[in-house]
Amino acid sequence: MTEMNERKPLLEVKNLKTYFHSNGNTVKAVDDVSFEVYQGETLGIVGESGCGKSITCMSLARLVETPPGKYEGGEILLEGEDMLKISDARMREIRGNKISYIFQEPMTSLNPVFRIGMQIEEVLMLHQGLSKEEAHARAIEALDMVRIPNPERIVNEYPFALSGGMRQRVMIAMALACSPKILVADEPTTALDVTIQAQVLDLMNDLKKKIDTSILFITHDLSVIAEMADRVMVMYAGKVVELADVETIFGNPLHPYTRGLISSRPDMSTSSTRLNVIPGNVPDLSDLPVGCAFQSRCGVVCDKCRQGTAELVEVEPGHFVRCFVTGGKKE
Amino acid sequence: MKNYLIRRILQIIPVFLGILFILFFIISKAPGSITDNIMDPRMTPEMRAALQEKLDPNLPFYVKFWNWIVEALHGNFGFSNQHYKPVVDVIGANIGCTFALALTAMILSMLIGIPAGIVSATRQYSAVDNVLTVFSLAGLAFPTFFLGLLLLKVFAIDLRWFPIFGLSNATLAHAPFLTRLGDMAYHLILPAIVLGLAETASFMRYTRSSMLEVIRSDYIRTARAKGLNEKVVIYKHAFRNAMIPIVTLLGFRIPGLISGALMTETVFSLPGVGKLSVEAVNTRNYPLLLGINAMLTMTTLIATLVADVLYAVVDPRIRYD
Amino acid sequence: MTTLDRNEIIKQSAKKDSYWRGVWRRLKRNRLAIVSAIILIIIALACILVPMFSKYSVSATDVAAADSPPTAEHLLGTDNIGRDLLVRLFYGGRISLGVAISVTALECVIGIVLGAVSGFFGGIVDTIIMRISEVFMCFPFLMICITLQSIFGTSVKVLIFILSILSWPSIARIIRGQILSLREMDYMEACRALGISNFRQIFKHLFPNVLAYVIVYVTLSMASVILTETSLSFLGLGVSPPTPTWGNLIQAARNLLILKSKWWYWVPPGTMIFLSILCFNILGDGLRDAIDPKMQL
């Protein structure tokens, strides 16, 4: 880990703020989020739905619709280039080429009226200047790489002919076609059956090593995180609440929310039949309370939490926590 | 694809027969008899009854229907007493005008309405979108006949830019073919604009809502995430999908288009099926009415079939079913 | 069971209340729709009140003032036998709007009953009703109206009957679709498993859903019936004079002289038709957006 931290990060996100404005309401979907991604690592982002994890990742390649979204501030540095400052044309050169995406819904993420092959060829022709024939050959290779049987046949099929798992493989093939620096996987296995899930995760791990890409892996499923991630970032109500390597997160979680998440997963080692749940719901992002957003659901809440928001503090090397109660440095 | 088409054709046949049956039933209930229009004072009631028996024998309804269907399949839709011609010939003489009008209006409205709808959708809530939306709301609310009268008054009567009525100028009856064609086109401009306006409005409206829905879909996000430029995203990825419901609309609009054509013809006194049917009603020419209805029903059904084929062309899911 | 039922009902009614309140709140924000509703109310009031309080009656002729352009006496002028066109305009509105309301009501009754029967019983009943509705939807609508009118005459009653008979399929299909999709839902399965009467459950859940669709449908249907009635009346079918409607008032403009120089005969009724169709369409769109923008209507 220390060796990794000495290297220059591939992607640096500094104080990113992505807000949504509608009817006079402001929703701070991503509120002052900072993190780094290093070459070849997988950073997992965890949180309940609506915590801003998807918007954070969509912001990286400026894929958030503006309006209603707006990038209110911060920097997104990919190899030193600020994604929020470059022109639209430059941004398009980066999308699908340096930053690629896999989305949650394989059933609807492929265009239903175009052949699989054409949809992969399109990226190759656009970013690598290949001819139609070269791109076609490469598309078949790409399908083969994601272990799709009979790629020569599948390349001419339409998406509706494939199952969800197969479509997600196609999405992966498409995303990795140009060997991107960063692959953003937004809940790529949530919509799949459990057995297919495992296959797809295995595939992603293999391919990551093969083409040495970094992965930003978004999920709400902690067991998936345990399997995929090197480091984990926990988000709550648009803010980072804890960031550490995967062993620390599972071994020594500090933020009450992280603790809640970990204790709420089914544990096979004990015979307990009841699951622990975090009481309450995710707060309305357009109407956040003063102070800590987690206060109403927190077991260790104190007066300070109702007055102000804690800073993200590095409690031990590489382990950041945002909490007055559990995250204070020992004074 | 082949199976799909065969299935659709097989579905259409009972619908067509059902419509004809209902029509035939209604018309058979019409008051008056076929001999009413024969005003011969020498005719005795007995002679009249004999003639009735000869022209329209007293057979059970279903036998008459069957006979009519068999005759119709041979191209005989009966005889129009007013015109001293078979119904088919009377309709044939008038249908060209209606088709020319409907087709021009349809093409015009697609050429304008679809691109306008796309622009409107891609710039939702912009000034352009607002103007186009107001235009389409107004276009849909304008009754064809009122718009026709307004344009007729302003452009034909007051400004004298266009002819007031008819399909051709009588003085050009012996002019070369191209001159006559040009003259006909000149006569059709105003009616086509009138009919096309409402159609344009509905194409625009449907294109807009269809595009708006498609633009929000996951595969458009994928297309953007690939780095495609916005033009390719909209005109290739989004439009191909937005076309699918628009093509179905094409089929659905045909009855409305025909109704609109009937109204427009009446306003501009064009010698088309619309005018013919109003005449047929006024003279209680039931064979002619039945023939016109059968013909329009068939047109409608064929149009929906064409729309189905187009649907299969734009949507691979149907094609491979 | 009883306590559970009561809680359920309380929850439901609370939900219903806030549901319609939400719809109203969203509708209020749509200024265009509200303005349309106000215009429609004004038109309707004028149609009721103007013929009632005017000193002229619909059919009273004033030969001395015949064929006069708008004056202080006759605000919209008179026709060729001296009838006051303002009174005739709003009296015609009574007929046009009355026909629209009656047809819409009647087609909704027919459509809802047939759609519900189709959805509940399914099977052969469903197939038959749906095939019939397809036949009706493929009719060349205007032509059929013309044909029917030529046979059954051109009274207001006949017109209402014909138009409702021809227009029920769309609402029937909507109702059927709603029932079918509701039957597919999980809690329906649960009810069936628990042996709770299907009918009662479906009605309880169906009602608010269907009501939303019917409200939007009624609004849009008003517009299309006004268009059809006026079109037919313009052709000299539909409602025939001396009873005025917006459609047969415009018919005067088929006379070239009137079209050319006597705008007060035909522009006011045309404008009323245009305005009322426009407003019903905008209001219908507004209602749909306020209730559920994804509604397929």
Q: What is chain A's pLDDT, residue by residue, as a tens digit (331 residues)?
A: 444 445 778 888 889 888 888 777 788 888 888 898 998 899 999 988 778 888 899 898 888 887 788 888 888 888 888 888 888 899 899 898 899 999 888 888 999 989 999 999 999 999 988 899 999 999 999 999 888 889 999 999 899 888 888 898 899 999 988 888 899 998 888 878 888 888 888 888 888 888 888 999 998 888 888 888 899 999 988 888 899 998 888 888 888 888 888 887 766 555 555 666 777 777 777 777 788 888 878 877 788 888 888 888 888 888 888 888 877 654 3
A153, A243: one domain: no
Last residue of a domain, one of A127, A158, A179: A179
- The whole-number average pLDDT for the span C130-158 is 81
How far out from the chain centre does Cα B318 lie? 26
One-letter-per-residue 3-state SS of chain A: CHHHHHCCCCEEEEEEEEEEEECCEEEEEEEEEEEEECCCCEEEEECCCCCCHHHHHHHHCCCCCCCCEEEEEEEEEECCEECCCCCHHHHHHHECCCEEEECCCHHHHCCCCCCHHHHHHHHHHHHHCCCHHHHHHHHHHHHHHCCCCCHHHHCCCCHHHCCHHHHHHHHHHHHHCCCCCEEEEECCCCCCCHHHHHHHHHHHHHHHHHHCCEEEEEECCHHHHHHHCCEEEEEECCEEEEEEEHHHHHHCCCCHHHHHHHHCCCCCCCCCCCCCCCCCCCCCCCCCCCCCCCHHHCCCCCHHHHCCCCCCEEEECCEEECCCCCCCCCC
pLDDT band at B39 (very low <50, low <70, confident <90, very high): low
Domain assignment of residue A327, yes or no: no
Quote the tokens at residue A181.
């620096």
Could you give the CA distance from residue C22 to residue C10 in angstroms, rounded to a whole number? 18
How close does chain A come to B220, measured CA to CA in Å? 8
Domain assignment of residue B66, yes or no: no
Quote the tokens at residue C210.
């269907």
Higher pLDDT, B35 or C251: C251
Domain assignment of residue B13, yes or no: no
3-state class percentages of chain B: helix first, strand second, coil last, to nearest 5:
80, 0, 20
Average per-residue pLDDT for chain B: 83
Measured between CB atoms, does A160 come within 8 Å of chain B? yes
Give the residue among A209, A37, C235 at the shortest CA–CA distance from B277. C235
The pLDDT score that the predictor gives to residue B73 is 80
Measured between CB atoms, does B153 come within 8 Å of chain A? no
Testing the interface with B: which of C36, C142, C226, C296 to mutate, by most B Cβ within 10 A? Answer: C142
How close does chain B come to A116, measured CA to CA in Å? 12
Domain count, chain B: 1
- Which contacts qualify for B214-220: CB closer than 8 Å, 24 or more apart? B214/B238, B214/B241, B214/B242, B215/B121, B215/B122, B217/A108, B217/B241, B218/A103, B218/A105, B218/A108, B218/A109, B219/A108, B219/A109, B219/A110, B219/A111, B219/A112
- The dihedral built from the CA positions of residue C243, C248, C250 and C255, taken in this order, carries a sign that is negative
A111 to B315: CB separation less than 8 angstroms, yes or no? no
Last residue of a domain, one of A179, A201, A228: A179
The pLDDT score that the predictor gives to residue A1 is 44
pLDDT band at C101 (very low <50, low <70, confident <90, very high): very high
Range of the domain at B127: 97-314
Q: What is the pLDDT of residues B236-260, one digit of tens each?
A: 999 989 988 888 777 777 778 888 8
The pLDDT score that the predictor gives to residue B56 is 65
Radius of gyration of chain A (CA): 21
Testing the interface with A: which of B214, B218, B226, B236 to mutate, by most A Cβ within 10 A? Answer: B226
Domain assignment of residue B190, yes or no: yes
Is the pLDDT reported for residue B55 higher than 90? no
Average per-residue pLDDT for chain C: 82
The pLDDT score that the predictor gives to residue A331 is 38
Domain count, chain A: 2
Residue C121's CB: how many other CB atoms inside 10 A? 11
| Residue in chain B nearest A177 by alpha carbon | B226
pLDDT band at C277 (very low <50, low <70, confident <90, very high): very high
Last residue of a domain, one of A179, A208, A231: A179
Give, as one character, the DSSP assignment of residue C84.
B
The pLDDT score that the predictor gives to residue C109 is 93
Higher pLDDT, B36 or C134: C134
- The whole-number average pLDDT for the span B77-82 is 76
CATH number, domain with residue B159: 1.10.3720.10
Rounded to the nearest 5 degrees, what angle is found at the Cα of C199, between the Cα atoms of C196 and C202?
95
Domain assignment of residue B134, yes or no: yes
Interface confidence, given as ipTM, is 0.85
> What does B201-243 look like in DSSP terms, one character per residue?
HHHHHHHHHHHHHHHTSHHHHHHHHTT--HHHIIIIIIHHHHH
Rounded to the nearest 5 degrees, what angle is found at the Cα of B270, between the Cα atoms of B264 and B276?
90
A121, A263: one domain: no
Q: Which of B13-22, B26-35, C37-46 has the lowest mean pLDDT?
A: B26-35
Q: State the greatest distance between any 2 C-alpha atoms of chain B, in Å, as a whole number.
A: 89
Identity at B62, one-letter amino acid code: Y
Domain assignment of residue A304, yes or no: yes
Give, as one character, the DSSP assignment of residue C253.
G
The pLDDT score that the predictor gives to residue C1 is 37
Rounded to the nearest 5 degrees, what angle is found at the Cα of C9, between the Cα atoms of C7 and C12?
110
Q: Which of A187-201, C36-50, C160-174 has the lowest mean pLDDT?
A: A187-201
- The whole-number average pLDDT for the span C191-215 is 71
Which domains are delineated in chain C?
19-54+85-295 (1.10.3720.10)
Is the pLDDT reported for residue C30 higher than 60? yes
B chain contacts of residue A93, beta-carbon cutoff 8 Å = 227
Q: Which of B111-115, B209-213, B300-304 has the lowest mean pLDDT?
A: B300-304
Range of the domain at A212: 2-98+180-321
pLDDT band at C297 (very low <50, low <70, confident <90, very high): low
pTM for this structure?
Answer: 0.81
Q: Which of A110-114, B111-115, C221-225, C241-245 has the lowest mean pLDDT?
A: C241-245
Is the pLDDT reported for residue C3 higher than 50? no
A130, A52: one domain: no
Quote the tokens at residue B240.
């191909």
CATH number, domain with residue A94: 3.40.50.300
Q: What is the pLDDT of residues B83-133, one digit of tens each?
A: 778 888 888 888 888 888 888 898 899 999 999 999 999 888 889 998 998
Measured between CB atoms, does B54 come within 8 Å of chain A? no
**B88 contacts: CB under 8 Å, gap ≥ 6:** B75, B76, B77, B291
| Residue in chain A nearest B239 by alpha carbon | A113
> Phi first, then psi: what are they for C139, rounded to 5°?
-60, 140
A111 to B221: CB separation less than 8 angstroms, yes or no? no
Give the residue among A284, A224, A244, A215 at the shortest CA–CA distance from A57. A215
Domain assignment of residue B72, yes or no: no
